[in-house]
Amino acid sequence: MSVSFSLLSSQTRPFPPPFPFPSKSKSKSNRHFLLPHRTSTTSTCPSSPIRRRLLLEPNSTHLSLRCSSSMSVENSTPTSQLQDSLLFSRAYWVSKSIIAWNVDVGDGSCFLFASKTAALSIVDDGVEGKDMQIKLEEDSCGLPENVIRKFPHIQDYRAYKVPSTLDAKTLLKCQLAVATFNSVGKCINVTGLQLPGVLDELFSYNGPLGALYSEESVSLHLWAPTAQAVFACIYRDPVGGNPLEIVQLEEVNGVWSTKGPKRWEGCYYVYEVSVYHPSTLRIDKCHVNDPYARGFSSDGRRTFLVNLDSDTLKPEEWDNLANEKPDILSFSDISIYELHIRDFSANDYTVHPEFRGGYLAFTLQDSSGVLHLKKLSNAGLTHVHLLPTFQFAGVDDEKENWKCVDTNMLEKLPPDSVQQQDLITAIQDNDGYNWGYNPVLWGVPKGSYASNPNGPYRIIEFRKMIQALNRIGLRVVLDVVYNHVHGSGPFDENSVLDKIVPGYYLRKNTDGLIENSTCVNNTASEHVMVERLILDDLLHWAVHYKVDGFRFDLMGHIMKSTMVKAKDALHSLTKESDGIDGSSIYIYGEGWDFGEVAKNGRGVNASQFNLSGTQIGSFNDRIRDAMLGGSPFGHPLQQGFVTGLFLQPNGHDHGTEANAGCMLAVAKDHIQVGMAANLRDFVLTNFEGKEVKGSEVLTYGGAPVAYALSPTETVNYVSAHDNETLFDIVSLKTPTEISVDKRCRINHLATSVIALSQGIPFFHSGDEMLRSKSLDRDSYNSGDWFNRLDFTYNSNNWGVGLPPKEKNEKNWPLIKPRLADPSFKPQKIHILAAVDNFLNLLRIRYSSPLFRLKTANAIQERVRFHNTGPSWIPGTIVMSIEDGYEGVPGFSQLDPIYSYIVVIVNASPTEVSFACPALRARTLKLHPIQVMSTDELVKSSTYEGSSGCFTVPPRTTSVFVEPR
């Protein structure tokens, strides 16, 4: 299409003829920063080293980029540096009528320039290559409140008025720049523009997007308001060949559309989008997939035209699945098991080789992995959380391209050898393994997990996986990564969103460079159409794949309003209209507050504290750190409540003995708050003997421990895919001289606290089997070898070599002697005992609704902690939960079997006895499940009613119940 400039402002006037501009490369730095330290688990991205990528024209020279945050250039600034300033976008077109820029014109002037061919350049006394220039006057009132709410990080910028007569919609298809001139007409500042504000105002759209199917036709719809032209190239095959057709789309108010014949269905297509891209300072022709794609060819080369409502894509009885799903009466009844699709079956020899590592492995009925999941489900587990399943980069969809290492050779190497990691890392970017936190596009299942990445196979097989898991009693949570995308720019093969509307989908800093605090290419849910894409994608997975929940990676980088809208939209789905009961869909995520969004820097974000009262869950890192010690980014030997702090020192300097004892007491308070669902208003007695609320218990950094207003807003955990496994961290932090039997007990002790706490318990797959990754702290790309799960219980994968050098080398001196010592390795008898103990924990949790209280008020009324204050018995937590009686004033009756429950956690290496007058004369007995346990130690736990005295063995959690 041709761009018309018919509407000129009366303030538009020509400048003097420009001088010729010397040839320069039109390039831009795309900087990838180191992944920041976080106070919690993080999703690891492979693009962490600092690097710059320059997009250069042929025969061009490198530009010296000055990434200063300064918003002004002195009068003496040379023209060449001003030209470099076009690579940045330091001004914001925030609404149709306002441009925000942090410069003071003084007695000079400010102009907006546009070029439909991207020909702008700076000369000594002006701007060359412009098709239009518009004078801007400063608005002395500053930025209006609605703009400040949307862009709080530029609230102090000056406001420049855009003439109301300007044809902004047409202008937005051009290269744009603003410049200031001094009183004698010399250019002193120039920069490009960030456009999301004005795009949201002029082009927000709620009509159809993606491919739509009718009985007669297929129509395509693409939101691309800054594009100058859009074509759809239709192909018969997933790769190769010439297009069957090349169709030009027509634009109406920023949305490009076309209607094609029904025969397009089953074909593939890509868009050719001609658009100005600020990273190249050019009009680029970008070949790109549909952001609303619902199918792909292998590796996302082309978008597959597939109608998900077609009966041929549905497994038998698929439309009835909503009625087959296991019941979930309350979100408080949820328990979550985090699992990676490839980990589940890649090493399971009871699975057919063609199914290993993929969707179809879940459809088998008698594989070792499925039999294990059935055990968990029968014991009470409700949800399986699958690590990313959308189309991500880092794993080739075509299995024939994968490289592998001979595992027979690896198994012969010493347990502390450097060779295993050398061989694994040599192929790590060419094997079949990656966690998947590097999204290409969100709406299509990953092709590498399917039997065939082309055609409809991935869709059908994904649905079969969901159906199979539901039928063994497990609901399915998808791990969604809306906070960043893997690719950006006009040429990256993994770039999609940034090719279609450059500068809109990705969050920029005040220089106009992409924010990378999440890892790389942060997305901006505060922009209307980014939020819409996220909401549409969630609804797509819920309706078309009938998933039961969503876990949001780095949820704090998404706006709170987006998360609330997501919850409301999902909960509005019904069986009658959508084939799914949306009210049963649970959402939770990582509410970490860091980077450019910290402290509401880009609006109210979905951080832990901001989400209170929303019924959206967030991970509780406080209970994890208090139990294990320190944080994932602290010293690896720092001990915590269950790993020997004060009670069994490991030689690490924790200060004086008194200091270590105080640390243990503080950790106990943090854990107790977590066991009460991390409720900010829960009242307890702290280690000093003071009555305090959960929000008045502080972390070592001074932030409140508690943040939740509802128990389902807290997801308690001690281990996840990130960082070392539970068994590995226990093996690092405990004294080297203790036995493997005791480490196994500590593993179980930590899991028991999570299983018996109020709130949502979350378990990393394999923790119940003493899973090890050979002490790898970040196994996102460590291959099947370091991530192996063995559902035959023969091995926990300890001692399979030093973990990969990149993330672990500094800890090799600690790791090597532990891996080399055969006494650290659990035997099958340990693994079987751990599995049995874990199943018992689930059975105990689901034996009484008192472990799953639904409201903050119920927890405050019924849950009490004893053994508190300065005279506490170190290392012991005593929690009671009280029920009422029918017909008796006071508490309502929730449990028909037990009227009172006492949980005692003894983390010390010796037996403890604790007498509690408040618990005297009750008819408490050891829980029947523990009485029948294969754990002889827990069976020796006792209670004496006359004195109210409990005796609990070392490193044991004992549960006592009062039968009605």
Rounded to the nearest angstrom, the gap between the alpha carbon of residue 688 and the centroid of all alpha carbons in its chain is 37
Residues 120 and 208 in one domain: no
Q: Is residue 866 part of a domain?
A: yes
Please give the Cα distance from 755 to 334 (Å, whole number): 11
The answer on pLDDT for 130 being more than 60 is yes
pLDDT of residue 37: 31
Amino acid at position 439, single letter = P
Phi, psi of 441 (to 5 degrees): -145, 150
pLDDT of residue 921: 87
Residues 219 and 196 in one domain: no
**553 included as an active-site residue:** yes
Number of other residues whose CB lies within 10 A of the CB of residue 319 = 12
Give the domain-ending residue among 271, 292, 313: 313
Q: Is residue 382 part of a domain?
A: no
Token digits for 883?
């029920």
Task: Out of 84, 290, 498, 590, pick the active-site residue.
Answer: 590
pLDDT of residue 931: 98
Please give the Cα distance from 473 to 938 (Å, whole number): 29
> What percentage of the chain reaches a pLDDT higher than 90?
90
Q: Is residue 646 part of a domain?
A: yes
Residues 636 and 649 in one domain: yes
Look at the chain and report how many structural domains it folds into: 3
Q: How sure is the predictor about 77, in pLDDT bands with cuts at 50, 70 and 90?
A: low
pLDDT of residue 773: 98
Residues 126 and 256 in one domain: no
Its domain, for residue 226, covers 203-313
Q: Is residue 54 part of a domain?
A: no
Residues 140 and 191 in one domain: yes
pLDDT tens track for 599-639: 999 999 999 999 999 999 999 999 999 999 999 989 999 99
Please give the Cα distance from 262 to 252 (Å, whole number): 23
Which CATH number does the domain housing residue 637 bear? 3.20.20.80
The answer on pLDDT for 700 being more than 90 is no
For residue 776, CA distances in Å to 415, 426, 722, 771, 896 come to 13, 17, 10, 12, 46
Give the domain-ending residue among 286, 313, 340: 313
Q: Is residue 910 part of a domain?
A: yes
Token digits for 171?
């202008």
Which CATH number does the domain housing residue 228 bear? 2.60.40.10
Residues 223 and 273 in one domain: yes
The answer on pLDDT for 110 being more than 50 is yes
Token digits for 403?
């490289």
The answer on pLDDT for 840 being more than 60 is yes
Phi, psi of 391 (to 5 degrees): -70, 110
The answer on pLDDT for 274 being more than 90 is yes
The answer on pLDDT for 902 being more than 90 is yes
Residues 161 and 263 in one domain: no
Please give the Cα distance from 681 to 673 (Å, whole number): 10
The closest of 236, 246, 295, 297 to 272, measured between CA atoms, is 246
Mean pLDDT over all residues of the chain?
92
The answer on pLDDT for 22 being more than 60 is no
Mean pLDDT across 408-434 = 98
pLDDT of residue 394: 97
Q: How sure is the predictor about 44, in pLDDT bands with cuts at 50, 70 and 90?
A: very low
- Three-state secondary-structure class, residue 556: helix
Task: Out of 338, 397, 553, 776, pick the active-site residue.
Answer: 553
Residues 719 and 854 in one domain: yes
Q: Is residue 747 part of a domain?
A: yes
The answer on pLDDT for 29 being more than 50 is no
Residues 207 and 193 in one domain: no
Q: Is residue 159 part of a domain?
A: yes
pLDDT tens track for 48-72: 322 222 233 333 322 333 233 333 4
Please give the Cα distance from 344 to 337 (Å, whole number): 12
Mean pLDDT across 655-660 = 97
pLDDT tens track for 340-390: 999 999 999 999 999 999 999 999 999 999 999 999 999 999 999 999 999
Q: Which residue in the block uniquely carries the two structure tokens 């990582």? A: 590
Total-model pTM: 0.92
Token digits for 570?
């999902």
Which CATH number does the domain housing residue 96 bear? 2.60.40.1130
pLDDT tens track for 420-429: 999 999 999 9
Residues 117 and 195 in one domain: yes
Q: Which of 182-191, 657-666, 799-808 has the lowest mean pLDDT?
A: 182-191
pLDDT of residue 447: 98
Please give the Cα distance from 45 to 516 (Å, whole number): 11
pLDDT tens track for 944-961: 999 999 999 999 999 999
- Check if the beta carbon of residue 763 is closer than 8 Å to that of residue 382: no
Residues 164 and 210 in one domain: no
The answer on pLDDT for 260 being more than 90 is yes
Q: Is residue 246 part of a domain?
A: yes
The answer on pLDDT for 201 being more than 60 is yes
- Three-state secondary-structure class, residue 766: coil
Residues 96 and 144 in one domain: yes
Please give the Cα distance from 860 to 874 (Å, whole number): 24
Give the domain-ending residue among 293, 313, 333: 313
Amino acid at position 497, single letter = L
